[in-house]
């Protein structure tokens, strides 16, 4: 186990003492303790909140080893001083580590160091260093996730303090809010927020349902974590599956045409077409409740710490009104409306009929948006509106432009794992008004007409960028962002691909906001239950700063760029920037090699495979993925492979590899796919984090998550795909213009592969595989097309970190 | 979806009305309603406990379709009568089914029938039939698990009733307790129960920690669900792994010896050797609490319904005293002690030091034991003591004799998936006093000596039954059982194998108690979240009867034998008995066939495989399992295969297939393994139940489970193992005597395979595969041994159901 804590705030000894007093660790008894050992004893007793009588406390102290042969209770009866050796032997046990299994009972300090657990070193603790060490220990992560103080809270430490008048609420400790809010008595309220528009054309502005969970305390104004999730009111999986498009269709030639961007630019228009409802009355009291929302465990954690949480599914969802427009200005505005209501700038009603207005008077008006995938996408999108009250977003695995999600460089490209999905399929999936047949029946015809039109506008025929996609490109408006942005993305996310966050990362330079990014080795996952990174603590520090205005140095303390290593588990690199390498290393394609000198040959491969193989690959994409196997694979004739010699030293690829090819197709249309591959026998990370079998509490008798961590697979593999990219040979200029292409005409293409940060070990070979049909992502026409690469003008530019 | 509800209690119309009044569905407004439609409207409004004002209720009614083209709110404004068509169209939606996806909106009644959802049929409801239909609907399972009333409770239905004085507590509805207890304010208490013995030899009787969770109501005496789980205080996985025995060791010859059972019989001795503690004081108030126990979701469900729950890990576990004796009379007595304390027959203390006694005055003295695997094993074991207060046990996937868990017929046989595990390994795993280094240090030497002795006594050398195993055979004492017994077991459980429950099932004939058995198609799993069976309801009915004394006909209503079909999903067979076929069908082994006539040939196979293959199979047991592939497999020379012709009609194998073989070994020792196989291309059940993506609540804002169901695999498979068995050729007489065997000497063996209930489809072939080394279960010596079967005296006796 290697501990990594980026949210550990260094504080001086006066603050240590003040915070230990605030949290009742240092009380009158500790202050009055005659000796350091007896002060230590009193502190230790506080780590057993389950027991109250002295005998039982003594018994509990007896369960800890103070020296290799003496328990802590016995030791304390004769101890004259507290050494670091004794302190950290006991500390390791409090941190849930075990002798033999986790640490060397003879050498606790070296075990602390080895696991990167912070220590205060001294031969003999005095009162000040004892407090400092105790404070640091409370803020240190245990073996089983979260800080020791979090674990103590989970075991009831804050229960007696919860309703005491001298307990501040929120209570900040080391710059982070602590669980002193009673999660067993949270308020659950529903309100209906009025938008400015009427997407379902029923003559009334669309109302959007919001589910609010907040502390019962009425004397306190709290900030909001808001997750906009079109999935939260249920999904229509059967209908979505039915609408899913066929992908075993041929690629076709596009009619060449010059297209100016201005001609396809979308101009958002949210002008109201119907009048707002007239407010009939005002109230403080919601009249609708709910039992259980579909929650994000990160939000759950903050419900115990003085934050309200709101979930809303937006227009077209169950209990709301309107249509599902899949990411355009209307859906974004319906999420933005929630922020506006919290901030006091928009009206909400207690129900959909009586026009009784209700204000978020319990809120301090400050909002953070959270969530992954579509949820994080909406966070990003709402941020680009510059809405007041939105102080920050935590945008995880988020889409920054929907074109890049369902298309790429003039091709229909499926999100990994979802061939045939498209914007209309997602609309059908998330139009949860279907779940209420009486309501759905009213809107059915209008909905179907809208959905049919979406099917046309998204244009699967050409795969080109058009006004439909421009309406769903948030990168255009990044300069409007006023909220600070935390981005989280998996470097192995082939659903929402890494360029989505990369484009946002770069575009944010135009906005005058703080930006931070965390890149992990996962696919399309959350990281708030991952043991090796204190993501939840970081967010706690961040939200305290952004939403409660606490001066805790969060912007400076949290690294701007944090990247998980792909070779060594539990290793995170703090960097200054990502994808900012100016001088890229050029490898020329040369006779199957990636080398220093340009080649002179021509390399051909065909697209078509045998009929049986084709059928097999369409149902088993994993089998097709052996395409990249070297030196030979069952698909050797369907690809061109180029490899470096084994690398003399390890390299970091930081950013986007550019593939420049001179290439021709045997017909007058065509597409290319490229994969960058790490060749070398190695035990690599398992694709998914390994569950560690440990429940992770969000508070005292509150909701739970399961701790996980990336581990090395038990077996070595010979290669791993690093990155990929796809391009239509008729989209050499850009994604919206169809260039001409003639059969057997060499053309030059330039393709930026998905950005990465990849640790390529020494002795491995870097490889490029060029092919056409990507069974997991492109259309699959199994067409009789041959592609030929002219090596003399083909190269890759690789951003090796210096 | 096919609904199966065995706990649906038929009641007359007066009870319908009384219970509807009790639960406030029928109140003064409903009684006063002028028309049937308006009574129906009021009932429907009660299904939306989230809203309070009439406008919102109207909106909610508008979300339901009453006719294919009219919502329920609009319909009700003009309705003159309520037809079954309208009632069940709405009912289906209340049950969370959707038009198009789940039911035909034009024909709701036929959809109800198709899904086996019960109905009251009438052309036009009058008040009495409306109430009956409403009552039945409340008791009907929804698409997403549990009854509609349970789902309403989850959404808050009982919240306003919870603290009303006219709400009975417990509240029984249709014979089952409802969630009217506040799970947000349960009491959590720890007590230390004194046993009669001192296994760790520290001069004091072993104290056993018990964790109690119970309703806060002090005016009520409640029964207890008690789960004895040695795992609950944590496990020592690393130490367990370290002690795991090598299985790549040769089988060896045992010295022949006649052994009488009497010479190896164990005589339990629990005579106290040290004095009991002197009680210093008595109290009503526990002084130790806990935040979160390791819970069984079935118990969670009953915490909302007026039951207390106790978990105890027994001697040798963290916070308790004593050693871990793995299933002998001491461990059993330490679990029995908990029942005795609840029943008022034993002393418990508030802590381990002060000798302050505390009584379970909040209890009604009645206990049910629950839990799976080791937990269910202890339930069975405690029941065999005949302890007062234990009214029933629900013994799931439980061991009835530990010999049958780690051994079989004179062989070391691993539980499936755990080669090398043994009683001592399990002791090491569960001796959680290791988790408290200060405590462990005190007992370390005594513990190690005990563990070493266990390693000797379990005798992996011979694999024979001896006194060690006799001390852990609960079948000997089944006649003492006074508690009614519910058994649950997976017919595909190769960890705790089906003979464990089969032996208990038969042995229970000697006890004068009710016995019920549920056999499912799972492996070693719980079934309380499985959609197609109302297991939780059954237990609710059962516990109400056994622990609250409710006259609800549970013993008669619940089937004695309930078996899940292995061919058709969601199908359960209620039978009178299991494994009670007197006339078995004989198939003779004859030239590779299982036929009507005895064969005349000799069939040989060898045990040894090539070195590379051996290494491969030891690390990949799945690959070895292709041994049974027909007609050929990579291991064809390592087996003898016999198959019937394709069966003309489907058959049910009900019970134990007996394999009778005349066989010789090429050396003077040997073992045989047999598998009974279903040969035939078919889509079979997935091995694990499929998660349905639906949260299953235990009550209102209380803990959750995930709904699941067995589904058919997407691909057909050519065969499936039905059952298996193993025997040492030197244990032809019984498991404790070593018979002589000479090289090349034919001997007759009779081997009962694991019992089953297997639906063998028509056109499939039944097969028998005979071999020696079982890579998943036996030792693996890879020895040069040839076995030969004499077909002339070899047959299998198959219990086909008539």
d(CA A24, CA B166): 44
The CB-side HSE value for A567 (13 A sphere, CA atoms) comes to: 15
Residue B30's pLDDT is 98
Last residue of a domain, one of A551, A575, A599: A575
Q: What is the mean pLDDT of residues B746-762?
A: 98
- At residue B217, does pLDDT exceed 90? no
Complex prediction ipTM: 0.96
Look at B56 and A156 and tell me if their CB atoms are within 8 Å: no
Choose among A105, A155, A292: nearest Cβ to B701. A292
- Please list every residue in chain A whose beta carbon sits closer than 8 Å to the beta carbon of residue B100: 238-239
- Please list every residue in chain A whose beta carbon sits closer than 8 Å to the beta carbon of residue B51: 287-289, 351
d(CA B308, CA A139): 36
Last residue of a domain, one of B552, B575, B598: B575
The active-site residue, picked from B206, B319, B328, B493, is B493
For residue A360, is the peptide bond before it cis, meaning its omega torsion is within 30 degrees of 0? Answer: no
pLDDT band for position A376 (cuts 50, 70, 90):
very high
- Give percent above pLDDT 90 in chain A: 98
Choose among A155, A236, A441: nearest Cβ to B69. A441
Look at B156 and A291 and tell me if their CB atoms are within 8 Å: yes
The answer to whether A515 touches A485, Cβ cutoff 8 Å, is yes
CATH number of the domain to which B734 belongs: 2.60.120.260
Query: Is the domain of B250 the same as that of B287?
Result: yes
Query: Is the domain of B402 the same as that of B448?
Result: yes
Look at B64 and A292 and tell me if their CB atoms are within 8 Å: no
The secondary structure of residue B755, as a DSSP letter, is P
Look at A62 and B351 and tell me if their CB atoms are within 8 Å: no
The answer to whether B350 touches B207, Cβ cutoff 8 Å, is no
Query: How far does the CA of residue B463 sit from the closest CA of chain A (Å)?
Result: 32
The secondary structure of residue A483, as a DSSP letter, is S
CA-based nearest residue in chain A for residue B61: A438
Look at A238 and B64 and tell me if their CB atoms are within 8 Å: no
Look at B52 and A190 and tell me if their CB atoms are within 8 Å: no
Query: How far does the CA of residue B155 sit from the closest CA of chain A (Å)?
Result: 5
Q: Is residue A698 a part of any domain in this protein? A: no
Say whether B588 is catalytic: no
- Within A11-119, residue ranges assigned H as helices are 13-22, 28-32, 36-45, 54-62, 72-78, 84-94, 108-114
pLDDT tens digits, residue range B147-157?
Answer: 999 999 999 99
pLDDT tens digits, residue range A49-91?
Answer: 999 999 999 999 999 999 999 999 999 999 999 999 999 999 9
The answer to whether B372 touches B495, Cβ cutoff 8 Å, is no
Average model confidence (pLDDT) across chain A: 97
With tokens 């039939």, the residue in question is B129
Phi, psi (deg, nearest 5) at residue A623: -65, -40
- Give percent above pLDDT 70 in chain B: 100
- At residue B219, does pLDDT exceed 90? no
Query: Is the domain of B140 the same as that of B242?
Result: no
pLDDT band for position B802 (cuts 50, 70, 90):
confident
Query: Is the domain of B114 the same as that of B214?
Result: no
Query: Is the domain of A162 the same as that of A191?
Result: no
Query: Is the domain of B308 the same as that of B165?
Result: no
Token couple for A607: 């697209």
For residue A170, is the peptide bond before it cis, meaning its omega torsion is within 30 degrees of 0? Answer: yes
Query: Is the domain of B138 the same as that of B259?
Result: no
Q: Is residue B373 a part of any domain in this protein? A: yes
C-alpha separations of B753 from A150, B98, B377, B585, B777 in Å:
52, 46, 22, 15, 15
Look at A435 and B238 and tell me if their CB atoms are within 8 Å: no
Choose among A62, A290, A438: nearest Cβ to B72. A438
The answer to whether B212 touches B187, Cβ cutoff 8 Å, is yes
The answer to whether A539 touches A554, Cβ cutoff 8 Å, is no
Q: What is the mean pLDDT of residues A246-267?
A: 97
Token couple for B411: 């062989």
Query: How far does the CA of residue A345 sit from the closest CA of chain B (Å)?
Result: 25
- Please list every residue in chain A whose beta carbon sits closer than 8 Å to the beta carbon of residue B143: none
Burial of B62 (0-12, 13-18, 19+ CB in 10 A): buried
- At residue A218, does pLDDT exceed 90? no
Residues facing residue B661 across a β-bridge: B749
Choose among B62, B236, B292: nearest Cβ to A438. B62
CA-based nearest residue in chain B for residue A236: B101
The answer to whether A414 touches B41, Cβ cutoff 8 Å, is no
Give the three-state DSSP class for B735: coil
Q: How many domains would you assign to chain B?
A: 3
- Please list every residue in chain B whose beta carbon sits closer than 8 Å to the beta carbon of residue A64: 436-438
Query: Is the domain of A387 the same as that of A426?
Result: yes
d(CA B556, CA B770): 43
Token couple for B103: 């039911």
Look at A154 and B292 and tell me if their CB atoms are within 8 Å: yes
Query: Is the domain of B516 the same as that of B443?
Result: yes
Catalytic residues of A: 373, 493, 524
Q: What is the mean pLDDT of residues A453-481?
A: 98
Which residue in B150, B187, B441, B447 has the most chain A C-beta atoms within 10 A of its own C-beta, making it the best mutation to test that interface?
Answer: B441
SS (H, E, C) B597-643: CCCCCEEEEECCCCHHHHHHHHHCHHHHHHHHCCCCCCCHHHCEEEE
Q: Is residue B88 a part of any domain in this protein? A: yes
| CA A82 centroid distance within chain | 44
Token couple for B456: 């000797």
Query: How far does the CA of residue B156 sit from the closest CA of chain A (Å)?
Result: 7
Residue A163's pLDDT is 85
d(CA A771, CA A683): 27
Residue A693's pLDDT is 93
CA-based nearest residue in chain A for residue B434: A98
pLDDT tens digits, residue range B772-795?
Answer: 999 999 999 999 999 999 999 999
d(CA B404, CA B193): 31
CA-based nearest residue in chain A for residue B351: A56
Residues facing residue B557 across a β-bridge: none
- For B679, the domain range is 585-683+715-798
The secondary structure of residue A800, as a DSSP letter, is B
Q: Is residue A300 a part of any domain in this protein? A: yes
Query: How far does the CA of residue A90 sit from the closest CA of chain B (Å)?
Result: 10
d(CA B46, CA B142): 17
Look at B700 and A291 and tell me if their CB atoms are within 8 Å: yes
Query: Is the domain of A270 the same as that of A149?
Result: no
Query: How far does the CA of residue B467 sit from the closest CA of chain A (Å)?
Result: 34
The answer to whether A233 touches A376, Cβ cutoff 8 Å, is no
CA-based nearest residue in chain B for residue A99: B437
Q: Is residue A695 a part of any domain in this protein? A: no
Q: What is the mean pLDDT of residues A246-255?
A: 98
d(CA B515, CA B55): 53
Which residue in A153, A351, A352, A700 has the most chain B C-beta atoms within 10 A of its own C-beta, making it the best mutation to test that interface?
Answer: A351
Burial of A410 (0-12, 13-18, 19+ CB in 10 A): buried
- Please list every residue in chain B whose beta carbon sits closer than 8 Å to the beta carbon of residue A701: 291-292
CA-based nearest residue in chain B for residue A156: B291
Look at B291 and A701 and tell me if their CB atoms are within 8 Å: yes
Residue A349's pLDDT is 98
d(CA A126, CA B705): 50
Query: Is the domain of B666 the same as that of B545?
Result: no
Model-wide pTM > 0.90: yes
Compute the count of residue pairs across chains A and B with CB atoms less than 8 Å apart. Answer: 148
Q: Is residue B629 a part of any domain in this protein? A: yes
The answer to whether B465 touches B407, Cβ cutoff 8 Å, is yes
CATH number of the domain to which B204 belongs: 3.40.50.1820
Phi, psi (deg, nearest 5) at residue A792: -65, -20
The active-site residue, picked from B317, B363, B373, B432, is B373
- Please list every residue in chain A whose beta carbon sits closer than 8 Å to the beta carbon of residue B69: 441
d(CA A738, CA A732): 8
Look at A52 and B435 and tell me if their CB atoms are within 8 Å: no
pLDDT band for position A508 (cuts 50, 70, 90):
very high
Look at B55 and A185 and tell me if their CB atoms are within 8 Å: no
Neighbours of B636 (CB within 10 A): 14
pLDDT band for position B444 (cuts 50, 70, 90):
very high
Residue B218's pLDDT is 78
pLDDT tens digits, residue range A515-570?
Answer: 999 999 999 999 999 999 999 999 999 999 999 999 999 999 999 999 999 999 99
- At residue A614, does pLDDT exceed 90? yes
Look at B437 and A62 and tell me if their CB atoms are within 8 Å: no
Look at B438 and A65 and tell me if their CB atoms are within 8 Å: yes
Look at B51 and A351 and tell me if their CB atoms are within 8 Å: yes
d(CA B485, CA B395): 7
d(CA B384, CA B386): 5
Helix or strand run (H / E) with residue A756: strand A756-760
- Please list every residue in chain B whose beta carbon sits closer than 8 Å to the beta carbon of residue A352: 55-56, 59
- At residue B275, does pLDDT exceed 90? yes
- Please list every residue in chain B whose beta carbon sits closer than 8 Å to the beta carbon of residue A98: 434-435, 437
Q: Is residue B696 a part of any domain in this protein? A: no
Look at B71 and A701 and tell me if their CB atoms are within 8 Å: no
CA-based nearest residue in chain A for residue B182: A184
Residue A802's pLDDT is 85
d(CA A444, CA A602): 57
pLDDT band for position A800 (cuts 50, 70, 90):
very high
Residue of B135, B177, B130 lying closest to B158 (CA atoms): B177
Say whether B373 is catalytic: yes
Q: Is residue B127 a part of any domain in this protein? A: yes
- At residue A409, does pLDDT exceed 90? yes
Residue of B686, B757, B322 lying closest to B517 (CA atoms): B757
pLDDT tens digits, residue range A684-699?
Answer: 999 999 999 999 999 9
CA-based nearest residue in chain A for residue B242: A101
- Give chain A's largest Cα–Cα span: 92
The secondary structure of residue B265, as a DSSP letter, is -
Residue A401's pLDDT is 98
Query: How far does the CA of residue A177 sit from the closest CA of chain B (Å)?
Result: 21
Query: Is the domain of B528 the same as that of B449?
Result: yes
Last residue of a domain, one of B173, B195, B229: B173
Look at B292 and A695 and tell me if their CB atoms are within 8 Å: yes
Q: Report the sign of the C-alpha dihedral through residues B136, B142, B145, B146, in that order.
A: negative
Residue A224's pLDDT is 98
- At residue B45, does pLDDT exceed 90? yes
Choose among B52, B185, B352: nearest Cβ to A287. B52
The active-site residue, picked from B343, B489, B520, B524, is B524
Phi, psi (deg, nearest 5) at residue B246: -70, 135
């Amino acid at each position: 186990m290697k501990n990594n804590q980026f949210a550990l705030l260094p504080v001086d000894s006066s603050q240590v003492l003040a915070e230990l007093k605030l949290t009742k660790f240092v009380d009158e008894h500790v202050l009055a303790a005659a000796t350091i050992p007896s002060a230590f004893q009193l502190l230790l007793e506080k780590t057993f909140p389950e027991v109250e009588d002295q005998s039982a406390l003594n018994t509990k102290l007896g369960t800890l080893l103070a020296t290799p042969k003496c328990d802590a209770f016995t030791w304390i009866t004769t101890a004259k001083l507290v050494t670091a050796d004794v302190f950290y032997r006991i500390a390791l046990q409090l941190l849930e580590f075990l002798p033999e299994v986790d640490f060397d009972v003879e050498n606790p300090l070296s075990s602390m160091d080895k696991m990167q657990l912070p220590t205060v070193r001294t031969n003999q603790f005095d009162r000040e260093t004892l407090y400092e060490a105790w404070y640091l220990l409370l803020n240190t992560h245990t073996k089983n996730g979260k800080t020791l103080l979090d674990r103590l809270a989970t075991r009831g430490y804050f229960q007696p303090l919860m309703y005491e008048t001298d307990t501040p609420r929120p209570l900040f400790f080391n710059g982070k809010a602590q669980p002193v809010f009673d999660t067993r008595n949270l308020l659950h309220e529903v309100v209906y927020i009025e938008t400015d528009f009427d997407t379902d054309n029923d003559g009334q502005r669309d109302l959007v349902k919001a589910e609010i969970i907040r502390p019962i305390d009425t004397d306190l104004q709290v900030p909001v974590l808001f997750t906009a999730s079109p999935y939260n009111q249920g999904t229509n999986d059967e209908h979505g599956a039915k609408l899913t498009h066929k992908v075993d269709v041929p690629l076709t030639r596009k009619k060449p045409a010059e297209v100016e961007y201005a001609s396809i630019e979308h101009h958002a228009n949210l002008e109201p077409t119907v009048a707002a409802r007239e407010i009939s009355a005002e109230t403080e009291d919601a009249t609708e409740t709910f039992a259980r929302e579909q929650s994000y465990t990160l939000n759950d954690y903050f419900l115990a710490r003085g934050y309200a949480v709101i979930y809303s599914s937006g227009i077209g969802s169950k209990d709301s009104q309107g249509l599902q427009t899949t990411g355009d200005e209307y859906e974004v505005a319906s999420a933005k409306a929630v922020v506006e209501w919290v901030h006091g700038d928009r009206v909400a009603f207690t129900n959909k009929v009586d026009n009784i207005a209700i204000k978020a008077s319990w809120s301090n008006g400050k909002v953070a948006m959270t969530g992954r995938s579509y949820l994080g996408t909406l966070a990003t999108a709402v941020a680009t509106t510059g809405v007041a009250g939105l102080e920050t977003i935590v945008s995880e695995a988020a889409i920054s432009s929907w074109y890049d999600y369902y298309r790429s460089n003039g091709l229909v490209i499926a999100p990994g794992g979802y061939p045939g999905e498209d914007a209309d399929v997602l609309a059908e999936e998330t139009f949860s008004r279907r779940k209420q047949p009486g309501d759905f029946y009213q809107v059915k015809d209008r909905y179907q007409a809208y959905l049919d039109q979406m099917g046309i506008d998204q244009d699967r025929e050409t795969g080109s960028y058009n006004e439909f996609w421009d309406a769903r490109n948030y990168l255009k408006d990044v300069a409007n962002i006023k909220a600070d942005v935390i981005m989280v993305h998996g470097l192995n996310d082939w659903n929402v691909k890494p360029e989505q966050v990369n484009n946002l990362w770069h575009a944010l330079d135009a906005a005058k906001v703080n930006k931070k990014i965390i890149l992990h080795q996962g696919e399309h996952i959350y990281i708030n239950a991952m043991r090796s990174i204190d993501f939840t603590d970081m967010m706690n520090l961040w939200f305290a700063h952004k939403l409660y205005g606490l001066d805790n140095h969060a912007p400076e303390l949290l690294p701007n760029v944090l990247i998980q290593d792909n070779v060594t588990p539990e290793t995170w690199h703090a960097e200054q920037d990502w994808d900012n390498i100016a001088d890229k290393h050029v490898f020329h394609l040369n006779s199957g090699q990636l080398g220093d000198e340009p080649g002179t040959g021509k390399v051909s491969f065909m697209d078509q495979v045998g009929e049986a193989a084709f059928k097999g690959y369409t149902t088993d994409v994993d089998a097709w993925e052996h395409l990249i196997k070297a030196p030979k694979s069952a698909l050797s004739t369907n690809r061109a492979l180029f490899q470096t010699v084994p690398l003399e030293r390890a390299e970091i690829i930081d950013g986007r590899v550019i593939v420049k090819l001179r290439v021709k197709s045997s017909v007058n249309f065509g597409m290319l796919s490229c994969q960058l591959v790490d060749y070398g026998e190695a035990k690599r990370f398992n694709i998914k984090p390994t569950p560690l079998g440990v429940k992770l509490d969000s508070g005292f008798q509150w909701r739970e998550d399961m701790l996980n961590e990336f581990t090395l697979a038990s077996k070595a593999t010979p290669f791993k795909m690093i990155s990929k990219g796809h391009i239509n040979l008729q989209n050499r200029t850009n994604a919206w213009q169809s260039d001409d292409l003639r059969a057997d005409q060499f053309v030059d293409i330039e393709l930026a592969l998905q950005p990465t940060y990849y640790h390529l070990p020494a002795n491995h070979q870097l490889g490029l595989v060029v092919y056409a049909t990507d069974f997991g992502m492109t259309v699959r026409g199994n067409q009789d097309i041959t592609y030929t690469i002219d090596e003399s003008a083909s190269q890759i530019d690789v951003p090796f970190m210096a």
